[in-house]
Amino acid sequence: MLTIPFLAGESFRKHGKNNAMGFVGEEVITYNQLKEKTLSVMRLLEDLSVQPGDRVAILSTSMPNWGVTYLAITSMGGVAVPILPDFTPGEIANVISHSGAKTLFISGNLVHKMDEIGSGSLDTVISIDDFRVKSGAVGREYVQGAVPAREYPVTEEDLAVIIYTSGTTGKSKGVMLTHRNICFTARQVMTIQYVVESDVFLSILPLSHTYEQTLGLVLPLFNGAMIWYLRKAPTPSVLLPALQEVKPTTMLTVPLIMEKIYFGKVAPTFNKSKLLALLYGTPLFRRFFNRLAGKKIYRAFGGRLRFFGIGGAKLNPTVEQFLLDAKFPYAIGYGLTETSPLLAGTKVGSSRLGSTGPAMDGVILHINNPDPVTGEGEIWAKGENVMKGYYKEPAMTAEVMTPDGWFRTGDLGHVDKNNYLSIRGRLKNMIVGSSGENIYPEEIESVINDFSHVIESLVVQKKGKLVAMVHLNLEELQAKYAQMKKDFTDQAELIINEYLEELQRYVNSKVNRYSQLQLVVYHPEPFQKTATLKIKRFLYY
C-alpha cells in the first residue's frame, strides 16, 4: 500500500531499535522513539481540532522534529504545507493564506519572519523545536507518550503535501502531491540506488523542497537508515567536521556544491604554473590528476560514500568530467517538484557526460514534436509520481497537463539510442536568435563559469543582443595582481573591464556563431537563487 503511514509503520515494525535521526554531535532517536513522538504530535493535533484534509504549515530549517511533524500530519490524513525557510515574509503570508492553513509549526530561528506579518489567518502556532503551543488553543500542550484517540484510514489518492515552489520563473505555485505520488518515487528509486538499514544519510538541503523531502527523508525512513542533520548552514567550516564525524554513505546535493569545490579548490591547484596547466590540458594527465584530487575529496567526505546524488539543476560539464575521471561515486538525477520529484537517473558507475540517464522504472518519457535534425523537443512525462495538479489553479494545471495524462515539463531535451536523456535547458529560457536559431543560455553559462575567477553568470537577451552578467571572485583577482606586484585597488575598474573583455573573447571562441556574446557586464552581487540554488532568472530579464 503506497501511503506514508503504512510504509512508515512497516519500517517502525522492522527497524524499531535502529537509530533513526539526530543532529550531528548530539543525541539520536531510534525508530521506536520516532514512532512515539509522531503519535504524540498526532494527539496534539487532535486536541487542536485538526481534521483529515486540513492544511498544516511547516516553516522550519531541517531537523529531526521536521520529520516527526511531517509524519504526524500525513499519518492522520492532514496535508503538510512545507514553506521554504528562504521565503520572504510576504511569500510566507501568501502561502499560508492561499493554502488555507490554520496551524503552523515554526522553528525558533525563523520566528522573526512571522513577527513581520503576524499570525493572520492562523489559529495556532507551535514551536517545532519542542512542540510547545506558542499562540492560540490555550491549555493545549504536547505530552510525550500520548497517543491519538482514533485511527485514520489514509488512502493512496489522499493529498499528502502541497509544496509551493520558488521557481526560476517567478510565480509560486502550490504543487499537490498524493501519498501515491511520494511513495511511488520512494519505492521506484530503489531500482537506481538500493538503500539499506546500514546506510547513513547526511542532510544538507532544505526538507521543505521535494527533492530532500522524498529522497532524503521518506526514502531512508522507509528502509531503516540513519539521517543526520546540521544545526547550522553547511558552510565548509560546519560541513567538513560533520563529514568526518558521521562518515555518510549517502548524500543528496545540488550542482553548485560540487562546482564550488572544483572551481574553488581543484582547478586552481592545476593552474598554479604554466607547466602544470599545460599537462592538465592533456587527457592522460588530466585523468591522472583528477583521480588524485578525487581521492582526496572522497576522504574529505568521510571515506564511505557510495552514493553522491546530484540534482535540481544542470551540472557543469567540466565538473562532471572531473567526477568521471576521479571515479567519484556520483549519480545525476532529473525531475521536478511536480513529479515528486524524480523522472530519470543514473546508477553510480553508469553516468555519461551530459546525460541524466534513463527514465526511472515505471516512468514514461516522451520527446514531444522533436526537431527532425537534432531530435530535441519538450520532455513530457507520465507515471504515478506526476502531481494531482496546482492547488486552486485549474487553468494553470491545464497548461501543463494534457487530457490523456502527460505532464509537460517545460524542459528541452533528447533521448539517445540507449534511452539516456540529455537536457538542453528550459523552454522558457531558450532565446530565439535573429535568424530563428535556438540559443540555450545555460550552455553559454557553462562555458563562462569554466573561466578562472568566475563564480556564476547569467546570459539574457537585451535589445536583441546576447548579454552576459558575471559575478566574479574579486579576492582571487586581487591576489593574482598582488603576485604580479600591481595595485588592484586603484585600478579595479580598469582591471575588471580588461578581464571581462578577455572573458568575452574566450567564450566567443568556444561557442557557435549564433551564441556569440555582444556584451559582458560585471554583476557585483551574488544572484538570487531558489532552494536548489538555481538562479531566479526572471528577476534579471
CA angle 360, 262, 480 (to 5 degrees): 155
Half-sphere exposure of 395 (CA within 13 A, CB side): 0
Query: H-type helices in 230-329, by residue range?
Result: 236-246, 255-261, 267-269, 274-280, 283-300, 317-326
Average pLDDT over residues 452-477: 90
Same domain membership, residue 181 and residue 84: yes
Same domain membership, residue 178 and residue 99: yes
Lowest-confidence segment of 310-324, 394-408, 421-435 by average pLDDT: 421-435
Characterize the bridge pairing of strands 342-345 and 103-106: unpaired
Whether residue 28 has pLDDT greater than 80: yes
The confidence band for 168, taking pLDDT boundaries of 50, 70 and 90, is very low
**How far apart are alpha carbons 456 and 447 in whole angstroms?**
11
Same domain membership, residue 271 and residue 169: no
Contacts of 493 (CB under 8 A, 6+ apart): none
Only one residue has cell 583521480, namely 291
Is residue 208 one of the residues assigned to a domain? no
Whether residue 483 has pLDDT greater than 70: no
Is residue 447 one of the residues assigned to a domain? yes
- What is the dihedral sign for C-alpha 145, 150, 153, 158? negative
Average pLDDT over residues 71-99: 94
The confidence band for 166, taking pLDDT boundaries of 50, 70 and 90, is low
DSSP 308-336: EEE-SSPPPHHHHHHHHHHT--EEEEEE-
Average pLDDT over residues 73-78: 98
Is residue 197 one of the residues assigned to a domain? no
According to DSSP, residue 193 is labeled S
**How far apart are alpha carbons 540 and 529 in whole angstroms?**
12
Same domain membership, residue 416 and residue 361: yes
Same domain membership, residue 470 and residue 486: yes
Is residue 221 one of the residues assigned to a domain? no
Average pLDDT over residues 55-74: 98
pLDDT at 484: 64
Q: What residue numbers bound the domain in which 417 lies?
A: 254-383+403-426
CATH assignment of the domain containing 448: 3.30.300.30
Q: How far is CA 295 from CA 103, 240, 303, 371, 426, in A?
A: 48, 15, 9, 42, 34
Same domain membership, residue 534 and residue 477: yes
Of 253-257, 268-272, 280-284, 388-392, give the range with the top mean pLDDT. Answer: 388-392
Same domain membership, residue 287 and residue 418: yes
Same domain membership, residue 261 and residue 378: yes
Which is more confidently placed, 339 or 270? 339
pTM exceeds 0.95 for this model: no
Q: Which grid coordinates are listed for 263?
A: 572551481
Is residue 465 one of the residues assigned to a domain? yes
Residue 412 β-bridge partners: 378, 425
**How far apart are alpha carbons 130 and 116 in whole angstroms?**
23
The confidence band for 95, taking pLDDT boundaries of 50, 70 and 90, is very high
Is residue 352 one of the residues assigned to a domain? yes
Average pLDDT, the chain: 92
As for how many domains the chain has, the answer is 3
The confidence band for 503, taking pLDDT boundaries of 50, 70 and 90, is very high
CA angle 415, 418, 424 (to 5 degrees): 25
Whether residue 164 has pLDDT greater than 50: yes
Average pLDDT over residues 333-343: 96
Same domain membership, residue 289 and residue 174: no
Same domain membership, residue 183 and residue 79: yes
CATH assignment of the domain containing 261: 3.40.50.12780
pLDDT at 121: 82
Same domain membership, residue 103 and residue 173: yes
Which is more confidently placed, 487 or 408? 408
Is residue 200 one of the residues assigned to a domain? no
Is residue 215 one of the residues assigned to a domain? no
Which is more confidently placed, 135 or 364? 364
Average pLDDT over residues 499-520: 91
Average pLDDT over residues 68-88: 96
Average pLDDT over residues 244-249: 98
Q: What percent of the chain has pLDDT over 70?
A: 96
Characterize the bridge pairing of strands 250-253 and 307-310: parallel
Same domain membership, residue 435 and residue 362: no
pLDDT at 78: 98
Q: How far is CA 520 from CA 250, 452, 460, in A?
A: 39, 15, 11
Query: H-type helices in 197-235, by residue range?
Result: 210-213, 219-222
CA angle 218, 74, 22 (to 5 degrees): 45
**How far apart are alpha carbons 519 and 386 in whole angstroms?**
41
CATH assignment of the domain containing 84: 3.40.50.980
Reference 304, options 202, 186, 234; nearest CA is: 202
Q: 190, 221, 241: which is the final residue of a domain?
A: 190
Residues 187-210: tens digit of each pLDDT: 999 999 999 999 999 999 999 999
Lowest-confidence segment of 46-50, 92-96, 270-274, 394-398 by average pLDDT: 270-274
The confidence band for 440, taking pLDDT boundaries of 50, 70 and 90, is confident
Q: 190, 205, 231: which is the final residue of a domain?
A: 190
Average pLDDT over residues 460-467: 88
Whether residue 455 has pLDDT greater than 60: yes
pLDDT at 435: 63
Residues 261-287: tens digit of each pLDDT: 998 889 888 888 889 889 998 999 999
pLDDT at 189: 97
Q: 156, 190, 224: which is the final residue of a domain?
A: 190
3-state SS string over 416-473? Answer: CCCCCEEEEEECCCCEECCCCCEECHHHHHHHHHHCCCEEEEEEEEECCEEEEEEEEC
